Every structure is written in structure tokens, then in C-alpha cells.
Structure 1
Amino acid sequence: MKITFQKLLIGASIAIGVSALATVPAQAGTLTGATIGGTAASDYLVYDSNATNTFTVANTSENVQKVISGNAASPTGNVELAASSEQAGFDFTKNTTLTGTIGGKTLTLSSLTSDDWFGVGQTTTTYGLNNLANIWFNQALSSNSTLLATFNSSKETLFNSFLINGGFQRFSDPNISYVNQDDTSGLISIGLAGHLNAAPLLGLSSSVFKLQASEIVKYTYDGKTDYLYSFKATESGLLELSDGISHSGNYEVTIKGVPPAAVPEPSVMLGLLGVAGVFATQRKFKKASI
């Protein structure tokens, strides 16, 4: 009977330990170890927030990490990369990056340069070429039916006006409000703070046109580099304090990330130690019965 009881005890302990290990979710969460870099590493702004407004705070690593910890329901503050993109003398050949670790892998988010939009070595472009500038612009038109109906016969004119007025630079400075990962699927969600109605960014009247378009962010993750943007926003519940317009919309874009490896919780480790203890006890019983 003693031997049978010992076997039952060992079996139950192993089952509990293995079951707990199998049900522990992987731990990933938000981007950690966030740092700013790129060829224009000082060209960024950090915006904190309260329940109503976003506002600039000091460019410190602590503030950068703090403001990107929100989510779609509560975007909080953001980090604006290439913050001088709308100013005279902006160097469109340089970029600003935000790099950190998520789910054990490195993720770099970057502002865009003229090379990204127009092609390597090109400082401008024309309508109809096969480059990001044309692809994005046509998607912006087709995703906003009012614009498409109004300018269907003059897309090239609108494109040229947007180009001349610095529109591509204006959409090259993404405001990163959060970077989160789903523990099970590995999906990485990135919040881009922008205008709920982006018509003024295209030189259009906000009272006439209702347009949604995020800024573009370039990413490098798990050996892949690509661009992310969205034409659908949700209300952030926030307004930038100085202009009363910016950061009113939250545009969420995603990356198909690698699911993070499961990490046993402390309670599970204790359970496994308990199993080890049972085996140690069993050996003692065997020695005592010899």
C-alpha cells in the first residue's frame, strides 16, 4: 500500500506540474528598452498626455518608454520621429528611429526619407511611376470616396500640388503611441497618432472634406523591412495642447509577429521543484527499505 501511495503522489505531482506549465501564457506585452537613433537621432519630440490633451515633455529615455505603453483603447502620449519634417530646411535624406525589444526580437520603427518615397537617389518624383509615393497617394484617394469622386479627372494635378507643398515630408514623421504584442498569435499592434480628419494635411478644407490617412512608418523586424499606414482612425479622446487638432485620431497598424516563447511563472517553477522533491523522497524511501 505504501508503494502504491508513493506512485500516486508522484503521478499527481507530475500531472500538476506539467499541466501548469502547459497553461502558462507567454509573456510579451509592450516594447521595452526603447532607444532613439537614426541619421537624425535628435530630431524627435516626446508627448505625454492627461485625460484631455497631449503635450511635449523632455526628450529622455524614461519619457520615451513611458508614453508608448498605451493601447488602442487608451493611446496616451506618443513619440514623433523626424519632428522637423514640416519646417523649412528639413533634411529629407535623414531619418529618426525608435528601436526596442518585443517578444524577444528587435523591432525598429523609422521616419521616411526621400529614398523611401521616390527611390534611391531620387529627390522628387512624377505622377504615374511605380514607387511608394504613387502607391500610397492612389490608395489615399481610393480609400476616401469623396476625394476620388471630386478629383477623379485630375489626380495628377492633385498629386503635383501635394508634392510641391511638401505633403510627402508631412506624412513622413510618424507619431508612435504604443507598440504591443498578442501573446498567443504574435501579432504586433502599433498605434499612430494623427488627425481624425486629415484633410488639412492634403491642403483641403476640413469643413468640406472628411479624410482619414495616417502618417507612414517604416519598420524592420525579423529580417524584413516594409512600410505601414492606415486610412481608418478611431477617436483617441485627446488633442495636442498647442494646436487643438493633432493626435485626435488613432490609426492602428499591425505586423505579423513571431509568437514569443512561453516562460514558466514562479508558481510553475515551484510546482516543478515540488516534483523534484517527490523524486528525492522516493529515493530516500528506497534506501530506507534496503
Structure 2
Amino acid sequence: MTRIALLQMTAGIDLQANAAVLVDAVDRAAAGGAAMLFTPEMSGLIDRDRERAAASIVAEDADPVLRSVCEAAARAGIWVHLGSLAVRRADGRLANRGYVIDGTGAVRARYDKLHLFDVTLPTGESWRESASYAPGDSASVVATPAGRLGLAICYDLRFPDLFRALSDAGATMLAVPAAFTVPTGEAHWHVLLRARAIESGAFVVAAAQAGQHADGRTTYGHSLVVDPWGTVLLDMGETAGLGFAEIDMSQVDAVRTRIPVLDHRRAIPPIGTVA
């Protein structure tokens, strides 16, 4: 059994305050016996005011939140999946980038969000992530104490081809850090995460933002851990805090043997059309 921790947070517009929450979570996760901590999408900054946010978004090697979490991971000797940060790329565009940090504080993997959230909801909420961010161009699977971890971020959850590629590449656990809106969360969050776990025969770990943020938005919460059979092992509800779950990686082989969907996958043949 491997113990993991999830941070459910209400990140705001103050980098230092967000970094302090993350560092505290690293320390408490290690003290609680976790081998790895998972944090939400945009753990370092949530700010819909693009002009104000721009002053806080810097290149990766200058990011104070990333530096603080790497230092905390090294002190505590714990791995961290830092769900994502807003970072400035070399070309000047922004990336929504996740990090896997090992127990020495070294970055083991990076992942830039592939699918950008450009939607207008029936509630009138409008989101245009592509107005500020560039999409990633690659996927990532990395060996961790919690298994071979496939990386995704939030809106990626709606694109099963990514999760098929990650499980085909050997992922036994899938990370989906998020800042889901309340309407979409209530409708789709649980069912999509359970579906990704079932179809991949893998654990899904989804650390989420929750509550009313300083920039005015509200996020759904309900950080989840789902096992390969689709059973929810942890649901953190709507309150910020730290949660723990016990992961039995033997369940992956057991489920994949019971229903060997990965072995049965086939390339989809051309689809014919009838006039």
C-alpha cells in the first residue's frame, strides 16, 4: 500500500500566500506518512484579470512558487505533483504547466496542458484560455513512488484519446489537477473521472480548486481518488484542506486481468459513410 495526499485549495491572486499554503501542505503530507502530494491546477495563481496577472507570471527558472515547493519537497523528502502553474515560455506566450518533483527537490517531469478551455456556459460564464495560453505539444508518463503517473490537466479530462495514449505508454495512475467551474463540475466531474479510471484500468487522482476565489470565480472542489474499478476512494467535498488515500497498486493488474481492455484495444478502421 502507498499513501498519497491531496491538497484542495482556494488559490488567490497573491503568489506568496499561495506558496505558503503549498509549503504547509508538503510538510503536513510528509508528516502524515504520504509518499507523494498532489496539488490542483493553477496552484500558484488564480487571477482572471490578465493585466494584473501578467506581472506575476514569469519564466520557470524565476518562478517563486516552483522554487518554494521544490525546496519544501527536498526538506520533507516527499514527491510532489504540482498540478500546474502559469509560466512564461521562451517565446513570450504562457503555458499552463504541471510538474512532478522528487524527494530531492528535482523536477522529474513537465507537462503543458494540451486542451484549452474556450467555452461559453449557459450561465453566461465565458472562458477563453487560448487568449492567454499556448497549448502543449506532448504528453508525459513518469515513474513515481505512487506508480507510473500519466499527466493531464483539467479540460484534458474530456478527451479520452489522451488517457488511452497515457495508459498505452504504461501509466498505472492518471493525474487530473483541476479548477472546474461549478456548473460543469456538478454535471460531469465525477462521471468523467470514474470513466477515465475504468477505461484505463488505472487509478485517477484529481486534486482540485474549491470555493470562492479572490478574482471572483467559484470552483467546484470535490478532489477525488478513484480506483481502477471506478470506486471513489476519496471525495473531499467543497472545503479546502488536505486529504489522504491508500493506494494498492496490485489492483491495477487485478482489474486489467479481469477485464483486459488494454489488450483488446484495436486501431479504429476507416469509417464509411452512406449518402
TM-score, normalised relative to structure 2: 0.29
Larger Rg computed on CA atoms: 1
